[in-house]
Amino acid sequence: MTLYLVRRFAAGILLLLALSMLVFFLLRLAPGDPISSYIDPMASMTEADMERLRQSLGLDQPLPFQYVYWLGEALSGDLGRSLQRNGQPVLDLLSTSIGPSMLLMLTGSTLAIIFGVIIGIVGAVRRDGPVDLTLAALSSLGVSSPAFLTSLVGLYVFSGVLQWAPAGGMQDPGMPFTVSGLLKHLALPALILAFGQTALIARYMRSSLLEVLHQDYIRTARAKGVPGRMVILKHAVRNALLPVVTLIGSTLGLAVGGAIFIESVFNWPGMGLLMVTAVEARDYPLIMGGTLMVGAWVILANIMTDVAYAFIDPRIKVG
């Protein structure tokens, strides 16, 4: 097992290297550079000023040289400084925003897994019954409502009108940090993030469970006198979870992207918000740092999924 993990992590490191190279050169294809994001059409910044700023940031060097310089710094742990105005070190910005993102994503995903699996089971067991049809309709609603729309509707209804939840942010600004304050702010965005994912997991779980209920060992279980509910929960669900675990692993990895809208609308200081502002400002070092951290998280999520998969299904040997 440990050999497998070592190999996967080594592959992961190589992967991050390939990813950093790909993103570094892709970024240069996008129109605009950090300096062009400084300029405000209202301000009168001469072309010469812009040229000088580019030199001071080393943007006029040949691309491969810039990449090697960046890589050298990155390997020594210095991801460089954000090109945005107050030039904070990238590592600090990332470390302050990875926490909130993980918190939001893990809470959202956990809720999605719990509700998704339950809805999937109910949908499969009461197949084509009234409950199944309503759940199918709800999950279609979940799947087909865009993150930014659900966030806006959620924000407006629950904090604007009903004032149940605070309007964005991670804590009341200036107030001392309290866990209940955090939970109060976390509830709405996490539920909205979970809403879409739940529908996804529910659909796959239902289809997988229907597949498993056909298997012979389910009939054997019933022949053993195992009560109906236990047959579903103990025998069927565990087998049906196998493909769903892969799905959960992948969506856990991709949740960072999805959180962008939710983090923007709720002003949640996570990676999503950081990356959107970084991309708007073409802040290359911050984008590179962010990509590596998000990349590492997705790779970790994939490795964890494969290990969990092997752990749940004894037939699959690891590696």
Residues 97-126 close enough to bind other proteins by CB under 8 A: 97, 107, 110-111, 114
List of residues 6+ apart from 165 with CB closer than 8 A: 158, 159, 184, 185, 187, 188
Verify binding: residue 279, other proteins, rule CB under 8 A: yes
What b/e string do you get for 35-59 counting C-beta neighbours within 10 Å, with b at 16 or more? Answer: beebeeeeeeeeeeeeeebbeebeb
Which long-range contacts (C-beta less than 8 Å, at least 24 apart) are formed by 169-173? 169/266, 169/267, 169/268, 170/100, 170/268, 170/269
Burial class (CB in 10 A: 0-12, 13-18, 19+), 71: middle
Of 273, 285, 286, 289, which one interacts with other proteins (CB under 8 A)?
273
Q: Least distance from C-beta 206 to other proteins, angstroms? A: 9
Q: Least distance from C-beta 66 to other proteins, angstroms? A: 17
Give, as one character, the DSSP assignment of residue 86. Answer: T
Q: Which tokens is 144 given? A: 């087909």
Q: Cβ–Cβ contacts within 10 Å for residue 31, how many?
A: 6
For other proteins, the closer CB: 37 or 66: 37
Q: Give me the 244-263 binding string for other proteins, x by CB under 8 A, dash otherwise.
A: -xxx-xxx-xx-xx--xx-x
Q: Which tokens is 30 given? A: 């996008």
Which of the residues 209 through 238 are near other proteins (CB under 8 A)?
Answer: 210-211, 214-217, 219-228, 235, 238
Which of the residues 300 through 319 are near other proteins (CB under 8 A)?
Answer: 302, 305, 309, 312-316
Verify binding: residue 3, other proteins, rule CB under 8 A: no
Q: Least distance from C-beta 122 to other proteins, angstroms? A: 16
Verify binding: residue 136, other proteins, rule CB under 8 A: yes
Which of the residues 41 through 100 are near other proteins (CB under 8 A)?
Answer: 41-53, 56, 81, 84-88, 93, 96-97
Of 198, 275, 286, 289, which one interacts with other proteins (CB under 8 A)?
275
| Dist. CA 240–CA 232, nearest whole Å | 10
Which of the residues 151 through 190 are near other proteins (CB under 8 A)?
Answer: 152-153, 155-156, 159-161, 163-170, 172-174, 180, 183-184, 186-187, 190
